[in-house]
Structure 1
Amino acid sequence: MLRRLTTTVAALALAAVMQNGSAFAQDNELTVGAIYLDAQGFYAGVRKGVQVGGAELGKNVQIIETNAGGDVGKEASFIDRLVSAGVEAIILSAVSPDGSVRAIRRAHEAGIPIVCYNTCLNEKDMKEYVYAYAVGDPFQFGYKIGQVAADDFVKAGKTEPKIGILNCEFVDVCVQRRLGFEKALGEKVPGFKIVSNQEATILDKAISTGEKIITANPDLDALWGESGGAALGAAKAIRNTGNAGKIMAYGSDMTTEIAQEIIAGDVMRGTVDVSGQALGKLALQQAVKAIEKEPQGALIVPNPIDLYTSADEAKAWLAAHPDGLP
Structure 2
Amino acid sequence: MKFIAKAALASLAALAASTAFAQDKDLKVGAIYMDAQGFYAGVRKGIQDGAKDAGRKLEVIETNAQGDVSKESSFIDSLISAGVQAIIVSPVSADGSFRAIRRAHDAGIPVVCYNTCLSENDMKDYVSAYAVGDPYQFGHKLGDAAADYFLAEKKDAPTIAVLNCEFVEVCVTRRKGFEEALFAKVPNAKIVDNQEGATLDKAVSVASTMLSSHPDLDAFFGEAGGATLGAARAVKSQGRVGKTVVFGGDMTTEIAQELADFSVIKAVVDISGQGLGKLALTQAINSIDGKPPADIKVAYDIDLYKSAEDGKGWLEAHADGIP
Report the TM-score, using the length of structure 2 for normalisation.
0.91
1:86 to 83, 86, 96: 83
Q: 1:303 to 1:236 in 2, by over 3 A?
A: same
1:59, CA displacement in angstroms?
2.5
Which residue of 1 is the match for residue 214 of structure 2?
217
Which residue of structure 1 lines up, in the alignment, with residue 308 of structure 2?
311
Contact 2:253 2:315 in 1 (8 A): yes
Among 40, 44, 62, which residue is 1:43 paired with?
40
Task: Report the residue type matching 1:74 in the other structure.
Answer: K
Between the aligned partners of 2:87 and 2:266, the Cα distance in structure 1 is 37
> Which residue is equivalent to 1:178?
175
Structure-1 separation of matches of 2:321 and 2:221: 22
Query: In the alignment, does 2:293 pair up with 1:262?
Result: no
Letter in 1 for 2:264: V
Q: Is the 8 A contact 1:51 1:61 kept in 2?
A: no
Say whether residues 1:279 and 2:276 are aligned partners.
Answer: yes
Contact 1:40 1:228 in 2 (8 A): no
Secondary structure, aligned partner of 1:298: coil
Deviation string, structure 1 residues 245-291 (Cα, Å, up to 9, x no partner): 11111110101101111111111101000000000000000000011
Give the distance between the partners of 1:200 and 1:151, measured in 2 at CA.
Answer: 25
Identity of aligned residues (%): 61
What is the CA deviation profile of residues 78-122 of structure 1, one whole-angstrom value per residue up to 9, with x for unaligned ones? 111111111010000001111111111111011000000000001
Say whether the 8 Å CA contact 2:283–2:293 is kept in structure 1: no
Q: Do the aligned partners of 2:231 and 2:246 also contact (CA within 8 Å) in 1?
A: yes
Is the 1:45–1:276 Cα contact (8 Å) retained in structure 2? yes
Residue 69 of structure 2 corresponds to residue 72 of structure 1: yes
Aligned residue identity for 2:72 = E
> What's the offset of the Cα at 1:25?
6.4
Q: Provide the residue aligned with 1:298 in structure 2.
A: 295
**TM-score, length-scaled by structure 1:** 0.91
Task: Give how far 1:26 is off.
Answer: 8.6
Structure 1 residues not aligned, in runs of 5+: 1-23
1:1-326 correspondence to structure 2 within 5 Å: 28-326=25-323
Q: Is the 8 A contact 2:129 2:292 kept in 1?
A: no
| SS at 1:154 equivalent | helix
Residue identity opposite 2:117 in structure 1:
C
Q: Provide the C-alpha distance between the structure 2 equivalents of 1:143 and 1:84, rounded to a whole number of angstroms.
A: 42
- Amino acid of the structure 2 residue aligned with 1:321: H
Are the aligned partners of 2:128 and 2:292 in contact in 1 as well (CA < 8 Å)? Answer: no
Amino acid aligned to 1:176: T
State the secondary structure of the residue aligned to 1:111. coil
Distance in 1 of aligned mates of 2:292 and 2:172: 32
Following superposition, the deviation at residue 319 of structure 1 comes to 1.3
- Contact 1:36–1:67 under 8 Å retained in 2: yes
Q: Name segments (4+ residues, structure 1) moved above 3 Å.
A: 24-28
Aligned-residue Cα RMSD (Å) equals 1.3
